[in-house]
Structure 1
Amino acid sequence: MELLISAGQVLPGPAGRRVLDGAVLVRDSAIVAVGDRAEVGRLAGADAERRDFPDATLLPGLIDCHVHLAFDASPDPVAAVQGHDEATLFEEMAARARRLLDTGVTTVRDLGDRDGLAVRLRESIAEGRLPGPRVLAATAPLTVPDGHCWFFGGVVDGKDAIRTMVRRNAAAGADVIKVMATGGGLTKGGAAIWESQFSAEELRCVVAEAHDVGLPVASHAHGSEGIAASVAAGVDTIEHCTWMAEGGFDVREDVVAEIAARGIHVCPGASPNWRGFAERFGQERAMEIFGRVRWMAEQGVRLIAGTDAGVPRAVFDNLTGSLEFFDFLGFELDRILELATVDAATGIGLGDSTGRLAEGYRADLLVVEGDPLTELDALREPVLVLAAGRPHVPGS
């Protein structure tokens, strides 16, 4: 199948590149050409399907680097997970994946589910049996007994158990290994959100074993000790990175410098409900956390976009709301788009296949009315989405 899509402007990525009156030619699942409408049009075959959006913007499909498809974004998503059988939970996860696709998200990284359901969903989408974005699955996150998200089935105790669980996840089809370096707010009775769950030596064991089987490591780390240990262990991404400590915050500038020097990507996991977070935790505390994200970027830390979709109030159809968090912090709009396209793809290991519109890249793209370089709100109403070359009309 050949599809020629033209638009008033094309934003191939990275920031600064723009083609007025441009087009993209897609053949099957890949991009064949990008550029001037007339030039690209001449490459299309006589039987190519042609779609023209003269007042719209064509850009790479969006990437959400941190979701939990097993959670339902309700006030108690843990109860919802524990209360469903596999068939019901899989059906709900598939519906959430479709909702993500409706909003222009063509790749997601699922950082924790149960029973390998995200892997099953990944395969169903890849085979064209269900609509949805490409899914990178972590399967069961590694945690300690009674630790954060123990209910997903990734409990380990000691290095031998760590090695076994990493190998088990890899055999189950994991694309990434997730480790809960610190506690989290969802799990009652476990470690405090700032408190470390693994020693530095145990985290090194996680990374060594994961890298040995060719998988990257994403470290959930709110606490400063857990962040520092994750960096020393050589993880590939740090999730949240809020620098919490008992009774306050403990930002370690030397560790921030190391994150930047090592090229470790940080996903703040800004919920679409970030304004509500500020109301619940207080403006002063919230602004201390928010401002630190901007400061880390100024220190050279590579940020990527993620919503933590599925946790309370973090819905699956509002990545734009999370991107508005960076607008609030003063990031330029073209830079914000990079966080959810070019940079996100690089951060999750897909920089050579998606995140930009280029010859040979996977045909992940979306068309939106208006200009997201002027107003991010333009991203809220996609009129056409392609994931691996498959056209999807939102809401259809």
Structure 2
Amino acid sequence: MKTIKIKPDKYYIIHAGQVWEGAGSSGLLQNCTVTIKKGRIERVSTGGLKTEINDAQHDAQVIRLPEITLMPGLIDCHVHLAFDSQNLLKTVEEWTTNPAATRSRIKQWMQDSLSSGLVALRDGGDLYGFSLQTREAQKTGQLEGPKILSPGTALYKKGRYGHFLGPGIETLADAKDQIAALAEQKVDHIKIVVSGLVSFKEYGLVGKTQFTAEELRAIVDTAHRYGLPVMAHASSDEAVSTAISAGVDSVEHGYFVKDATLKQMAESQTAWLPTVAPLGNLLTAGHVPYPGANLDVIRRSYEGQLEAINKAVNYGVLLGIGTDAGANQVYHGKSYLDELKYYQKAGLSNEEILSAATSASAKIVGMHEAGHLKPGKLPLFIGVRGNPLQNLNQLKNIEFIAYI
């Protein structure tokens, strides 16, 4: 795999056999050349490399990829960099007893994510702000990998689910104070925990909704006044509908959502990250995550989520790709293709899936200059062999990555 970190003071000429420019494109362009100038895609042209070389600066870096298909880089809209995909309780303990081990693993997971074609990761937060630390280390050049978007810590109501995601709040004043403090740290978004977890013991059971509609609306309005979008952990139809009514920007998970709420989601243009991998990967591995958990219960929840995704597409919901990487059996980077294939099982076409993974996810995370391989966009793209529009398995082996 060839990896290029694009420098704004260099000129690049990349020749590829094919280019998929992204959502809305009519198939693949053939025999293409992509030029990059001042840290932006300058042009995408067909017809070979000769003209571009003649026009280029003498110090241009020329990259020849005649057997490669270039396409926009992938984005994971929901990860937890501080989680290890195996044992959450042990990981949370390690955050205080051996934080260096956590940072070391995060460094590896950043590389795993990049190698999987991911150019950006939106984190869901952790109690000690490891993802925010990672973002800052990346900014200072201490760490390489996909762009990190971090909320620092998450907001949840003390005594409810979420103690490993943030310090917790008791009152609306607490919530406003935490948002102000997070804004001071220049976080990228606010994460709020609206509901509890989905039970793997009893089908359809979800931890209670943590906030009233009025409380949640006040919290969301506060975040928006600071210019911060809100991602909401919400499962159960009640929690999802409450979150949408409060004006959150994206619903995370959204298990057991009903048709009327999917239509509400579409009408309000609220994005949805269904995160199927935390269920599907348990089923694939035949892994029972805790005593009393039942794989048949997990299977019913999984099948219901696939059905809801299919309906969401028909209703016009903005769907992105979020894996919940770090959850049990959901591996950073490596599980991204799993999530794409679950969408395939839900009935989406490969083009719909890849559009969700690129342009739609870029919109959801606020990276409006990414998501397409077109002039004026940021040079965040990947290369694979063959045609990913025909076969998603081409994404198993990423041959080329351009990132910033």
TM-score (norm 1): 0.89
* 2:347 alignment counterpart: 330
Q: CA deviation at 1:43?
A: 4.2
* 1:269 alignment counterpart: 275
Q: Secondary structure at the match of 1:229?
A: helix
Residue 114 (1) aligns with residue 127 (2)? yes
User: Mean Cα displacement is larger for which, 78-87 or 286-295?
Assistant: 78-87
Residue 251 (1) aligns with residue 267 (2)? no
**Superposed CA offset, 1:192-214 (max 9, x none):** 63421111111111101100100
2:258 partner amino acid: V
* 1:69 alignment counterpart: 81
Structure 2 residue corresponding to 1:101, chosen from 114, 117, 123: 114
TM-score (norm 2): 0.87
Q: Secondary structure at the match of 1:382?
A: coil
* 1:286 alignment counterpart: 302
* 1:296 alignment counterpart: 312
Q: CA deviation at 1:28?
A: 5.1
* 2:384 alignment counterpart: 368
1:13 partner amino acid: G
Structure 1 residue corresponding to 2:103, chosen from 64, 85, 90: 90
Structure 1 residue corresponding to 2:42, chosen from 15, 22, 32: 32
> Contact between 1:272 and 1:318, CA under 8 Å: does it hold in 2?
no
Q: CA deviation at 1:315?
A: 0.4
> Contact between 2:70 and 2:384, CA under 8 Å: does it hold in 1?
yes
- Distance in 1 (alpha carbons) for counterparts of 2:54 and 2:331: 42
Runs of at least 5 residues in structure 1 that lack an aligned partner in the other structure: 244-249, 389-396
* 2:13 alignment counterpart: 4
State the identity as a percent: 27
- Distance in 1 (alpha carbons) for counterparts of 2:238 and 2:278: 27
4+ residue stretches of structure 1 with deviation over 6 A?
Answer: none
> Contact between 1:10 and 1:19, CA under 8 Å: does it hold in 2?
yes
- Distance in 2 (alpha carbons) for counterparts of 1:167 and 1:290: 38
Residue 151 (1) aligns with residue 167 (2)? no
Q: CA deviation at 1:93?
A: 1.5
Runs of at least 5 residues in structure 2 that lack an aligned partner in the other structure: 1-9, 287-294
Q: CA deviation at 1:283?
A: 4.1
**Superposed CA offset, 1:202-250 (max 9, x none):** 111110110010000001111111111101100000001112xxxxxx6
> Contact between 1:158 and 1:202, CA under 8 Å: does it hold in 2?
no
> Contact between 1:34 and 1:40, CA under 8 Å: does it hold in 2?
no
* 2:402 alignment counterpart: 386
**Superposed CA offset, 1:72-111 (max 9, x none):** 000x223212223333322222221111011110001001
* 2:290 alignment counterpart: none
Are the structure 2 counterparts of residues 156 and 193 from structure 1 closer, same or farther at C-alpha, using a change threshold of 3 Å? same
- Counterparts of 1:227-246 in structure 2 under 5 Å? 227-243=240-256
Q: Secondary structure at the match of 1:21?
A: strand
Structure 2 residue corresponding to 1:49, chosen from 46, 52, 61: 61
- Distance in 2 (alpha carbons) for counterparts of 1:369 and 1:343: 23
Residue 350 (1) aligns with residue 367 (2)? yes
- Distance in 1 (alpha carbons) for counterparts of 2:330 and 2:57: 44
* 1:20 alignment counterpart: 30
> Contact between 1:204 and 1:233, CA under 8 Å: does it hold in 2?
yes
CA-atom RMSD, angstroms? 2.1
**Superposed CA offset, 1:344-376 (max 9, x none):** 11112112x111112222211111122111110
> Contact between 1:272 and 1:315, CA under 8 Å: does it hold in 2?
no
* 1:196 alignment counterpart: 209
- Distance in 2 (alpha carbons) for counterparts of 1:304 and 1:97: 20
> Contact between 2:198 and 2:235, CA under 8 Å: does it hold in 1?
no
Are the structure 2 counterparts of residues 114 and 283 from structure 1 closer, same or farther at C-alpha, using a change threshold of 3 Å? closer
* 1:173 alignment counterpart: 186
**Superposed CA offset, 1:108-132 (max 9, x none):** 1001123222122112223433111
1:261 partner amino acid: E
Q: CA deviation at 1:146?
A: 2.7
